Structure 1
């Protein structure tokens, strides 16, 4: 079998570029070096004076997390595909003979960032890059939330009762390994969906287990500006008053669905100088007035843009929580939000930039 030569590899990479390598576009458009200071500060590596193998470059490791998030890969699968794919190697700046981080190293890197709470800092760092490139939050903002699935927990009725009352089951305390596999932060909720095949259409309540991703995007560029992670049963509307609104937006208008309509939210927005374009709810046991129907329909044209963000994350990135606990779930959702903004940045630059 013929051993591949240098020019053979170069020819393959050129062919990948011609086919539209997304990672190559990432390398051209996003300056990953801007994350170095924040990564080094969060990781707090030793200076190497005590010897030992030096750690992998933090920017390279962060780019591995980007690959993972883009393709919804486990740590083991990520290690394999980095060794297997030339496009991954080129994006990471690795040669065919270079050492590749193994699955355990990838897990430890992500875990250190998670425990350091670095995801907010990294998200804000890239948001600053977007602003410096001219993508300021403009034309108002749109709020919404989506459910993100996590592995279902198989608990007994007694264990469920303990969880509801904030206790840890005695059986779990006696078995630390079992406790480590129990997610005590993810919750069950009901997901309501229309039964389209029935006439008339009715709402179906589907049990759902996991977390909830809350975001605020700007209307102009549809970039995520604020975000928050909660359990699946958390109220959407209450998050509006918990830092989800972006005060730096050039317009004060806020769009959201009826879950965000409450007296407390309306009073809060008025006090903070925001103009509410939140959908109005249907009167109880009454028909919706025609003028409110028309008003809500007009608002939906704008509000529906936020659904494209969730569709991108769930279809392209196949967003799913594999980990245990809300701290790690926040890291996973935060990475998905950063990667979405990177992909959106690539698109905006390709179609003409901030102008």
Structure 2
């Protein structure tokens, strides 16, 4: 007797799959429910207007569609090639980007050209647009501000010592052909942290202690010390005057400046070889750590979005990627507030 197969074929199978996804819960549907992507697209168009297609040629894809693609790409840390494949293969991605019935799906080249057209200014417009939606919902900066930095790794560069010396002098080895030069990241740098070497860039952020939302950020190369971005990311709109930071930020001048401008200093003290911290200073550091640790949750969330590794070459494109990290983190934070029914006060 012939056994029946457990697989059932149906002309409407794709519709059944879509309905089951909705029952289980599609995280992208939640994002679409709570984020105004048309407003984000308008912000981008104001910075980088769409190309005029009246002269002929294929019209560009809608900015909103491309913005949604950039969000997906950053949320899951996909390359342009991987993004193209997933748009062709995944039903949820197609639905999120409004491409379910589309024959022509944006390819890797289209995505690359869009990123280059909007540039850093376009990524900043997306960050500002998400910030505006947070503000509209009442999630303003409260509870004090926490400042910290994280290393963002890039593909490691292996150069000979002679080439390194030239690159340090902002020069390029004469024997490098144009194709090789395009693949060499001369902006990323090496640094050491906890005895380990790291290559890439640095992202400094300011997070409010109440909602753990990124309020300000600064991008740089890895070798720049964290403390160099302190003033650049300080947020004067936080409703509290408390400023928290780890032991990499204290200095006599900074403490005097904070006091002069009315801020309450909660920067952890740092001991020295011949001058260890007193018990009082250690207790103070522990008290500060309870609040300061909230910024580590932010870095962990960014790392969970497919990891922090960037695949680009050069500071400008790295800045674009890091700005998108901050924008997409805030976007997910707003979705969390809305889903959980958290009200601003």
| Superposition TM-score tier, normalisation by shorter sequence | over 0.9
CA change 1:33–1:140 in 2 (3 A) is: same
Structure 2: 5+ residue runs without aligned partners? 1-6
1:13 partnered with 2:18: yes
How far is 1:169 from its partner?
2.0
**What does residue 110 of structure 1 align with?**
115
How far is 1:256 from its partner?
0.4
| 1:40-51 mapped onto 2 (5 Å cutoff) | 40-51=45-56
Question: 2:40–2:126: 8 Å Cα contact kept in structure 1?
Answer: yes
**What does residue 238 of structure 1 align with?**
228
**What does residue 246 of structure 2 align with?**
257
Question: Which is worse superposed, 152-161 or 14-23?
Answer: 14-23
Following the alignment from structure 2 to structure 1, what is the Cα–Cα distance between the partners of residues 35 and 302?
A: 19
2:179 to 177, 180, 193: 177
2:188 to 186, 189, 194: 186
Following the alignment from structure 1 to structure 2, what is the Cα–Cα distance between the partners of residues 300 and 99?
A: 52
| 1:195-344 mapped onto 2 (5 Å cutoff) | 205-242=195-232, 244-344=233-333
Secondary structure at the aligned position of 1:280 is classed as coil
Following the alignment from structure 1 to structure 2, what is the Cα–Cα distance between the partners of residues 225 and 129?
A: 13
| 1:91-130 mapped onto 2 (5 Å cutoff) | 91-114=96-119, 117-130=121-134
Following the alignment from structure 2 to structure 1, what is the Cα–Cα distance between the partners of residues 198 and 102?
A: 46
1:135 partnered with 2:139: yes
1:70 to 58, 70, 75: 75
Q: TM-score, normalised by structure 2?
A: 0.93
Cα deviation, 1:191-221, whole Å, max 9, x if unaligned, reads 21xxxxxxxxxxxx11110001100000010
Q: TM-score, normalised by structure 1?
A: 0.91
How far is 1:2 from its partner?
9.2
**What does residue 150 of structure 2 align with?**
146
Task: Let me know the Cα RMSD of the aligned residues.
Answer: 1.7
Following the alignment from structure 1 to structure 2, what is the Cα–Cα distance between the partners of residues 253 and 53?
A: 54
